[in-house]
């Protein structure tokens, strides 16, 4: 039973990704079932639906695949969000589909995740889609990566099969620059190592998936830790204050800050948190800030503590295409960074990533729906961007279609080390499949 202390549990954001038929929906269903997150009427509705679709066993994927087309075709179309909790943590899970054409959903789910859970079918091994999911997790710098090796029941819970696959995962993730990966042998269908440790794999002495998720330490979005506040709204009342969500910090009353892109130095006169006066704001809080000096601040400006970034109007970035539209050199676009939208242009496409070989190759003509590429951008006005590797908030942006407003690409400021070696001989591709 929940008590009054329950709201104090920290929140952890998860994203799952897997290939077709590797049992991801079953795994999510199992997580919900093992944390008592499935209520009686939902369980009954699941039993009814399972029998109508001709499955005798309880089809756990029906807990998550909610759209009519998904149930009829037995596939997952779109990102679904699920909520569950234990005594220690509250979880928000973005369940992303594995089909290639829905790859943009993997990017969406992982962009705000603190943990990526990537499913691998132990019999199928590492597929192209697995490589893609791991590459996206590395690119988006998801702080914790978990590879759940599923369907262990299909290989008789064999330690050797698992260990061989585990070595390949560790080798591959190391090449992707993922510092830490946790590999867990599971059977979502049979319930092994999901909620509780399995007795059928005595050779495995690590945690169950849920135990691991409960123990993972939260990682701040910024490694610099200096305050950054993108101003969303100017509040005009007796005094003027600037509203936004602090992405890194803390920010204290009296702190010296710079208003960007203007570059004007001033101090914080007061801070309120949704109307309540406070002396210090913490990262993640939505606040209202007033300044000592009369400075012209409007929506889209950034209030930054020192060291503050230098606004830039041309830079290189990695783009992940997320729509049907293709981006080509000289295309005019809109860039949304924080609360600011500016006009911009794709100057050149420097290289494209081949997710199978992890090599960046030159001579790429356009960036389409599932593509990942390094591009040079020029903006009509400078933005206080920072490297994504040091700040997951000020280092990201959206590329929007200037005409219809659709989101065309997800942008990451900076060039991955591997892309800087485009002209160097492509990396070896052996031993990854």
Partner 1 sequence: MTATHLDHLSVLEAEAAHIIREATAESERPALLFSGGKDSAVLLHLALRAFTPAALPFGLLHVDTGHNFPEVLTFRNGVVAHDDLTLTVASVQQWIDDGRIAERPDGMRNPLQTRPLLDAVAGNRFDALFGGARRDEDRARAKERVFSIRDALGGWDPRRQRPELWQLYNGRRRAGEHLRIFPLSNWTEVDVWSYIVRHDVALPSIYYAHRRQVFLRDGMLLAPGDWGGPVAGESVTEKSVRYRTVGDMSCTGAVESTATTAQEVLDEVSISSISERGATRADDRVSEAAMEDRKREGYF
Q: What letter does residue 138 receive in the DSSP assignment?
A: H
Q: Does 432 bind partner 1 (CB under 8 A)?
A: no
Least CB distance to partner 1 at residue 395 (A): 10
**218, 263, 329, 362: which one contacts partner 1 (CB under 8 A)?**
218
Q: Does 104 bind partner 1 (CB under 8 A)?
A: yes
Q: Does 236 bind partner 1 (CB under 8 A)?
A: yes
Residue span binding partner 1 (CB under 8 A) among the ranges 122-130, 171-179, 251-259, 274-282: 274-282
Nearer residue to partner 1 within complex by CB, 274 or 433: 274
Q: Does 285 bind partner 1 (CB under 8 A)?
A: yes
Query: Is residue 358 within 8 Å of residue 296, measured between CB atoms?
Result: no
Q: Please give the size of the binding site for partner 1, defined by CB under 8 A.
A: 76
232-257 b/e (C-beta count within 10 Å ≥ 16 → b): eeeeeeeeebbbbbbbbbbbebebeb
Q: Does 54 bind partner 1 (CB under 8 A)?
A: no
Least CB distance to partner 1 at residue 151 (A): 25
Question: What does the per-residue mask of binding to partner 1 show for 380-419, with x meaning CB under 8 A?
Answer: ------------xx--xxx-x---xxxx--x---------
Q: Does 263 bind partner 1 (CB under 8 A)?
A: no
Least CB distance to partner 1 at residue 174 (A): 26
Element (H, E) at 236: strand 228-236
115: closest CA among 216, 10, 257, 256? 216
Q: Does 298 bind partner 1 (CB under 8 A)?
A: no
Per-position DSSP letters for 377-389, written without gaps between them: EEEEEEE----TT
Nearer residue to partner 1 within complex by CB, 229 or 359: 229
* Contacts of 237-240 spanning 24+ positions with Cβ under 8 A: 239/290, 240/290
Q: How far apart are CA 428 and CA 286, in angstroms?
A: 47
**20, 35, 49, 219: which one contacts partner 1 (CB under 8 A)?**
49
Q: What sign for the dihedral angle of Cα 103, 108, 111, 115?
A: negative
Q: What letter does residue 123 receive in the DSSP assignment?
A: T
Q: What letter does residue 152 receive in the DSSP assignment?
A: G
Q: Does 198 bind partner 1 (CB under 8 A)?
A: no
Q: What is the CB neighbour count within 10 angstroms for residue 297?
A: 21
Q: Does 82 bind partner 1 (CB under 8 A)?
A: yes
Q: How far apart are CA 176 and CA 40, in angstroms?
A: 43
Site for partner 1 in 21-40 (CB under 8 A): 39-40
Q: Does 100 bind partner 1 (CB under 8 A)?
A: no
Phi first, then psi, for residue 327 (nearest 5°) are -100, 135
Least CB distance to partner 1 at residue 418 (A): 22
Q: How far apart are CA 249 and CA 224, in angstroms?
A: 9
Nearer residue to partner 1 within complex by CB, 185 or 283: 283
**20, 92, 253, 295: which one contacts partner 1 (CB under 8 A)?**
92
Residue span binding partner 1 (CB under 8 A) among the ranges 107-115, 128-136, 310-318, 376-384: 107-115
């Amino acid at each position: 039973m929940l008590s009054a202390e329950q709201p104090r549990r920290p929140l952890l954001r998860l994203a799952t990704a897997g290939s077709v038929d590797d049992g991801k929906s079953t795994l999510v269903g199992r997580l919900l079932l093992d944390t008592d997150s499935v209520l009686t009427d939902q369980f009954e509705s699941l039993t009814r639906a399972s029998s109508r679709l001709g499955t005798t066993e309880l089809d756990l994927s029906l807990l998550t695949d909610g759209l009519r087309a998904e149930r009829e075709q037995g596939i997952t179309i779109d990102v679904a969000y699920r909520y569950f909790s234990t005594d220690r943590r509250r979880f928000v899970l973005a369940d992303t589909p594995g089909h290639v054409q829905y790859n943009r959903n993997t990017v969406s789910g992982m962009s705000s995740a603190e943990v990526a859970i990537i499913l691998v079918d132990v019999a199928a091994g590492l597929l192209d889609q697995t490589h893609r999911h791991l590459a996206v997790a590395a690119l988006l710098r998801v702080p914790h990566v978990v590879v759940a090796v599923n369907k262990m029941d299909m290989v008789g819970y064999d330690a050797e099969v698992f260990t061989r696959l585990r070595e390949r995962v560790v080798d591959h993730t190391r090449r992707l620059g993922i510092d830490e990966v946790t590999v867990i042998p599971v059977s979502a269908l049979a319930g092994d190592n999901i909620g509780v440790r399995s007795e059928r794999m005595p050779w495995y002495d690590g945690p169950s998936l849920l135990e691991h998720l409960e123990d993972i330490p939260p990682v701040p979005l910024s490694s610099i830790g200096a305050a950054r506040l993108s101003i969303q709204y100017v509040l005009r009342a007796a005094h003027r204050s600037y509203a936004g969500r602090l992405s890194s910090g803390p920010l204290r009353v009296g702190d010296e800050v710079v208003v960007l892109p203007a570059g004007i130095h001033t101090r914080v006169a007061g801070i309120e948190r949704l109307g309540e006066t406070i002396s210090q704001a913490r990262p993640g809080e939505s606040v209202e800030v007033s300044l000592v000096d009369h400075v012209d601040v409007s929506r889209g400006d950034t209030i930054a503590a020192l060291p503050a970034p230098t606004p830039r109007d041309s830079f290189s970035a990695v783009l992940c295409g997320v729509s049907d539209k293709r981006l080509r050199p000289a295309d005019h676009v809109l860039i949304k960074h924080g609360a600011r939208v500016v006009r911009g242009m794709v100057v050149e496409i420097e290289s494209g990533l081949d997710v199978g070989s992890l090599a960046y190759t030159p001579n790429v003509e356009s960036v389409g729906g599932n593509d990942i590429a390094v591009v040079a951008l020029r903006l009509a006005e400078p933005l206080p961007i920072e490297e994504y590797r040091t700040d997951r908030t000020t280092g990201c942006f959206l590329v929007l279609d200037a005409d219809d407003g659709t989101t065309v690409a997800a942008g990451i400021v900076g060039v991955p080390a591997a892309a800087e070696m485009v002209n160097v001989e492509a990396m070896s591709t052996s031993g990854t499949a």
